[in-house]
Amino acid sequence: MRSRFLLCLAAIVMIAFPASADDNAVLFHEDFSSLGSWKPFTFPKIKSHSTYTIERDGDRHVLRTESDASASAIVYREPFLVSEHPRVRWRWKVRNIYAKADVRSKQGDDYPLRVYVMFEYEPDKAGFGESVKYGLAKSLYGEYPPHSSLSYVWASREDPDRFVISPYTDRAMMVLLETGPAKAGTWVDEEIDILADYRKAFKKAPPARARIAIMNDSDNTGERAVSWMEFIEVTR
């Protein structure tokens, strides 16, 4: 009788307070009710900055990003351990793409929307030359620049490759998730695996910690774009 009572009690507790391996699956989910968790990221030589604002879309908030011959980003304030939360999901929409954009040239290196995963520099693992270079950068800008990055983009043109090295540096890899205007004006869901993509792109494991950034840029093409993001989340 007592055993039956304990089993029933255990069942009630499990229903009321279910223990799940997914309790900590979502590190953060941003629905853009505010931008309090984000900070601006600008580039020293680019004077005209893109804008990031919150607007209503029916009963929800969305992030509106707009560029006009400009470039800047917003960065989530807290870094995270990539090995513990390697997956990122989001929903985005672009109003238009760029006529002069080209993923393989500096003059065309613009995207109406992209999600950056910026991996942190690790001083204790750097060689002498790298230590000098990053130390100089920190003295100039007050912090270390990223060690490397994956940039998940909505590209304007089709390309035979999914991974394309940035025309500016081999430490930045562009990942073409969407290409062309076919889906412009519609919401599109994305899900990526940071660890798998980094190994494919750089042929090695990534640094331990990373930050998420969102960017709309048109400083190279001189064009203009508006795009939106409904949510973004980092999970197991």
For the chain, domain boundaries: 22-235
Question: What are the C-alpha distances in Å from 107 to residues 12, 25, 217, 219, 220?
Answer: 63, 40, 12, 9, 5
Q: Is the pTM of this model over 0.75?
A: yes
> Could you tell me which residues come within 8 angstroms of residue 107 by beta carbon, excluding any fewer than 6 positions away?
100, 220, 221
Q: Residue 166: its pLDDT value, please?
A: 97
Q: How confident is the model at residue 27 (pLDDT cuts 50, 70, 90)?
A: very high
- Segment 37-88, tens digit of pLDDT: 999 999 888 999 999 999 999 999 999 999 999 999 999 999 999 999 999 9
Name the class of domain 22-235: mainly beta
Read off the pLDDT of residues 152-200 as tens digits, 9 standing for 90 and up: 999 999 999 999 999 999 999 999 999 999 999 999 999 999 999 999 9
Q: How far apart are CA 190 and CA 152, in angstroms?
A: 10
Q: What is the three-class DSSP state of 72?
A: coil
Distance CA 55, CA 61 (A): 6
Q: What is the pLDDT of residue 145?
A: 73
Cα torsion through 84, 88, 171, 67, rounded to 10? -150
100-127 tens-digit pLDDT: 999 999 999 999 999 999 999 888 788 8
The one-letter amino acid at 175: V
